């Protein structure tokens, strides 16, 4: 696992932990272990999902020219 992947895993675990703490779970040790289990699941799901090439290009609209009513 590269350093960037380790940081990403920690980052995902941090947000998972925030969600678990928001549920007011009683056991602190359980929260940290469960957060890393969730982060590992997210890393696995991320590896399965094919990479996308990016955002699709948006074609510019034709400029609207108002006809002069002279």
- What does pTM read for this prediction? 0.61
What's the confidence (pLDDT) of residue 16?
A: 92
What's the confidence (pLDDT) of residue 52?
A: 62
What's the confidence (pLDDT) of residue 69?
A: 61
Give the CA angle between residues 43, 5, 25 to the nearest 5°. Answer: 55
| pLDDT score of 70 more than 60 | no
**Residues 7-66: pLDDT tens digits?**
999 999 999 999 888 887 666 678 889 999 999 999 998 877 666 666 677 777 777 777
39 burial (CB, 10 Å; 0-12 / 13-18 / 19+) is buried
What's the confidence (pLDDT) of residue 46?
A: 83
């Amino acid at each position: 696992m590269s350093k960037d992947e380790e940081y990403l895993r920690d980052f995902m675990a941090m947000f998972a932990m925030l969600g678990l703490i928001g549920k007011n779970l009683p056991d602190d040790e359980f929260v940290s272990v469960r957060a890393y289990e969730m982060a590992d699941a997210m890393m696995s799901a991320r590896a399965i999902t094919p990479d996308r090439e990016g955002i699709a290009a948006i074609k510019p609209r034709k400029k609207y020219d108002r006809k002069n009513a002279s």
